[in-house]
Chains A and B, each alone.
Chain A
Amino acid sequence: MASTGQATDLPEAVQQPAIKADPKWFVMGGVVSIVAWLALIPLFFLIYQSFRTPGTARKPAIWTLGNYFDAYSSSDTLVLFANSVEFAAGTAVLALVVGTALAWMTERTNTPLKPLFYALSIIPLIIPGILFVVSWIFLASPKIGLINLALQKILGTDKVYVDIYSMAGMIWVDGLHYAPIAFLLMTAAFRAMDPSLEESAMMSGASMWGIFRRITLKLAFPAVAASFLILFVRSIESFEVPALLGLPVGIQVFTSAIYDAIHSYPSNIGLAAAYAITLLVITMGGIYFQSRITAQGGKYSTVTGKGFRPRTIDLGRWKYLTAGIFVVYALLVVVLPFIVLLWSSLQKYYSVPSWEALQNVSLTAYKTVINYPSVGTAVWNSFLLSVGTATTVMLLTAVVCWIVLRTKIPGRWVLDQVASVPLVLPGLVMGLAIMVCYLSIGGGIYGSIWILFIAYVTRFLPYGMRYNTTSMVQLHKELEESAAMSGASWFTAFRKVVLPLLKPGLLAGWIYIVIVSVRELSSSILLYSPGTEVVSIVIWEMWQNGQYVELSAFGVMLIATLFVFVMTAQWLGKRFGVKES
């Protein structure tokens, strides 16, 4: 940070005078206890449950290793493991290839439509995963898929060209779904790469290919490997795709196996917990290696402190090809899925596009959805949960970050680690852990909306940490110190200087958490009960009931609402927030 290399290179001296009975310490103590409770207790119950037999009225639960024995003795587990790895690795590779290509095109070439593409790249983030999967079923299922029907019509056959209900289909849908994340990760990596490193290779006489192979690729390696692991972990955690595309044809992965074990009769929570622990070990391994690579990659990033202007390559006529790739990508990820949902929402009964169907266009489905009994409750629940979760998480993690970054309390790094624990918990595993925990503790939390609130807050703690850390790190410590030198007390400085400056980060994090809370399915599916449905659950139920047109109408309204919300929030942020300098 100290560019001129002053004594500020040294760590800061102890400067928090330990004053007793300062209300500041009560706030901190409270926050630390809440975070520790949320992040650690359910995990403990999950491990505990994996060593217990199912307790029934006649037979109390006892200690056992049987769950692990059941989980590992069967040869099905091997298939399960192989499926999970194949699915996750395939998804990660597809997402990474697409994301890297797009990132390279936007960062390092003169492809037209670049600004438009940046704006477009956020949109996939607001489409809930389950709607994306459903829209791809409409597009590529063997029976009703539009792609198959169109090809059959054109070629005059009845051959099935694409089948979404397959491993390849699962990888295709999930890979496209995660491509925007890969794009964001790789864009950051390309931006952090000093082009003068490549230029000096060019001056040394290396060819374009030589530069790519010996410099660019080597420099990008840590970023590529870390992104791969992040995507791998994310996809091995995915629930929507395996549940909707894999289960109907018997392709099971860990997440769908956990769901099956809980929903079979009698439900086998111990077995689910044993699977969950296995999944947890895999995700922990992935995150561990990712953080190792990122830490080692630090030596590759030559931070000069100088702003460098990335060199863009003139592609000549090829730029129309890359622009074409943008268009195709946008079609596959945003336009086509939305259009099929829109189409199906305008029908009375699901039917493929035709002249006949076009004449039957009506808004009946929208009316049905609005009057659908659980929709009102679900929307209200989702609204309360997302706003409540986002507000709670951002405030909680703001204090945690302040403790971690601005105080010198010994052991504060432990707090940082604890708050990041939920990062390794797949949503389904988190749901299971919280379910087991509050079933054992009792107190009426299980079955109420509070259990969803607890699950969401826990799940999204790491996101809050990330947003707050980023904005607090950028907040130069001298800005606070100069307020102190001007005679301002700690609270005045916090209110007049720190909070206004954190506002953009707080707002951005808040918006993001609202969106992911509305999209949340994999934890909610184990924790909801009648009366506490949320919107993603309603979509799930509609799918199970075969109410495709209602589902589409609801989906279209949901996407439109989220879109308007994001636009309004960003506009408000620009208008009333602090301009980022």
Chain B
Amino acid sequence: MLTVKGLNTEYPSLKGPPVKAAQDVAFEVPAGKFFTLLGPSGCGKTTTLRSIAGLERPVGGEISVNGRLVYSAEKKIFIPPNQRNFGMVFQSYAIWPHMTVFANAAFPLEVRKTKLSKKEIRDKVMRVLSAVALDQYAEREATRLSGGQQQRLALARALVMEPELLLLDEPLSNLDAKLRDRMRFELKRIQRELGLTTIYVTHDQGEALALSHEIAVMNEGRIVQVGAPRDIYDHPRTKFVADFIGTTNFIDGVALGQDSTSGRWNVRTPVGDLLVHTDQTLAANMRVTVSIRPEDVELLEEPAAANGYNLVSGLVDQKVFLGDMVDFQVKVDDYILLSRAHPSLRTPIGDRIYIRMNPEKCVAIPDTSPARAAA
């Protein structure tokens, strides 16, 4: 469906050489899938989206949709955005304040080359407005809508043109938390129902995990890892991904050797020797970082070992009651490990406590790991 190959973008800078934004970005999105570009500020994700939209002109690479080339540096093809037929929802919604709700949504149909009759336009517009539950506001001035309604109107405007591709640039970032949760479900429902291929840009890992079929994590202009949400969360390939998505504990260590039967690696760390999982090639004596999520750090008041599990002991240093869970900080030697436990665990501060970790959940990341994974 959407294929992006070797995409590079640059900005002219006042002094010195141009600034590189997206570098060698490549990915493929199958039809009907929800694909997310996730990363911190300035990582190049918005630039990548705007290059797909045609609002920015890359300096190298190729973008094609359904086999149609919309951009190619080599063949000198650049289809302007108004001929690409992609729907886009902007971060600011970009609702035109001088038009009514209906006029905003009808605009794409009115400006396009193949003319539609008044009635056809009316039917199509009312159909999408009712899909986003705005049909009763059709004649209202667009500026008198609430934030959530404006966001739905922006979505309706993008949908009314029956786009080949739906581009969403942080559409939820300007909404308050409750509304954001509701719109998240709404977006997912509409995307599923219409089977639209969707590219979504966000810096919010929660949104990305909740909505996407596939996520591409970007950092410093490059894609560092692509995968399904669960895959990215459970098996981060770099420290950056592990740290950016969710909360994690990092433990520095040195690889000792591979266990021949289980395929697990043994890693010597300040909290003790650990059996860990890895997708990457390690070698003995290699410096590694072990990442483990707080919810996978099991706390026990008695040393109940389980077969093959890592077991260490420490002292309760701090705890924070959060209602549905308790965050424990456990001191193992000089290392503080964060654990997320059930509120029923009430071990007092200063007491000894035992930590059990599933080796499957302890992910070793080589410190010399390349800055990016082959996407």
Contact = CB atoms under 8 A, between A and B. Distances in A.
B92 A7 contact: no
Nearest to A489: B82
A10 B21 contact: yes
A7 B47 CA distance: 7
B360 interface: no
Given A6-B46, A482-B88, A578-B98, 15 more contacts: A4-B41, A10-B47, A11-B13, A14-B12, A481-B90, A482-B154, A483-B96, A484-B80, A485-B53, A485-B87, A485-B88, A486-B161, A487-B82, A493-B82, A581-B97
A581 B94 CA distance: 13
B97 A497 contact: no
Given A17-B57, A484-B82, A12 B11 contact: yes
A579 B144 CA distance: 11
23 contacts: A4-B170, A4-B173, A4-B203, A6-B201, A7-B42, A7-B45, A8-B46, A10-B42, A11-B19, A14-B12, A410-B12, A482-B88, A482-B157, A484-B55, A485-B158, A485-B167, A486-B108, A486-B111, A487-B113, A488-B111, A489-B111, A492-B111, A496-B107
Contacts of B78: 17
A317 to B, nearest CB: 42
Contact of A6 (B10, B12, B170): B170
A314 to B, nearest CB: 33
Nearest to A19: B80
Contact of A7 (B21, B82, B113): B21
A2 to B, nearest CB: 8
A10 B90 CA distance: 17
Contacts of B148: none
Contacts of B189: none
Interface string B93-126: 0101110000000011001110000000000000
Contact of A13 (B9, B41, B86, B173): B9
A8 B19 CA distance: 13
A353 B86 CA distance: 76
A13 B107 contact: no
A487 B41 contact: no
A408 interface: yes
Query: Which of A5, A485, A500 has the largest count of B CB atoms less than 10 A from its CB?
Result: A485
A485 B91 contact: no
A10 B92 contact: no
Nearest to B143: A581
B366 interface: no
A476 to B, nearest CB: 5
Contacts of B174: 4
B9 A500 contact: no
Contacts of A5: 41-42
Contacts of A487: 82-83, 85, 108, 111-113, 161
A423 B84 CA distance: 45
A501 interface: yes
Q: Most chain-B Cβ atoms within 10 A of its Cβ — which of A6, A9, A11, A497? A: A6
Contact of B86 (A485, A500, A578): A485
B21 A478 contact: no
Contacts of B295: none
Contact of A501 (B81, B96, B157, B169): B96
A15 B56 contact: yes
Given A15-B55, A487-B85, A497 B47 contact: no
Interface residues of B, number: 56
Interface in B39-56: 41-47, 50-51, 53-56
Contacts of B107: 483, 486, 488, 496
A12 B56 contact: yes
Contacts of B84: 485
B356 to A, nearest CB: 40
A479 interface: yes
Given A479-B94, A485-B88, A496 B47 contact: no
Interface string B257-298: 000000000000000000000000000000000000000000
Contacts of B55: 15, 481, 484-485
A578 B90 contact: no
Interface string B9-36: 1111100000101000000000000000
Contacts of A481: 53, 55, 81, 88, 90, 94
A578 to B, nearest CB: 5
A493 B173 CA distance: 26
B58 to A, nearest CB: 8
A500 B112 CA distance: 20
A114 to B, nearest CB: 27
Contacts of B82: 483-489, 493
6 pairs of A and B residues whose beta carbons are closest in the complex: A7-B46, A486-B108, A478-B94, A482-B94, A488-B111, A5-B41
A34 to B, nearest CB: 27
B42 to A, nearest CB: 6
Contact of B98 (A11, A410, A483, A500): A500
A15 B44 CA distance: 16
Residue with the highest number of chain A CB atoms closer than 10 Å, among B10, B50, B94, B169: B94
A15 B82 CA distance: 13
A256 B43 CA distance: 61
Given A6-B41, A12-B56, A501-B97, A476 B92 contact: yes
B11 A10 contact: yes
Interface string A565-581: 00000000000001101
A13 B112 contact: no
B36 to A, nearest CB: 14
Nearest to B78: A17
Given A408-B12, A487-B108, A492-B111, A4 B98 contact: no
A578 B97 CA distance: 8
A581 B51 CA distance: 30
Residue from the set B21, B44, B81, B83 with the largest chain A CB neighbour count within 10 Å = B81
B88 A7 contact: no
Interface in A71-100: none
A519 to B, nearest CB: 32
Contacts of B158: 485
Nearest to B12: A14
Contacts of B80: 17, 484
Interface string A479-512: 1011111111100110011001100000000000
B94 A13 contact: no
B21 A497 contact: no
Contacts of A579: 97, 143
A228 to B, nearest CB: 31
A493 to B, nearest CB: 8
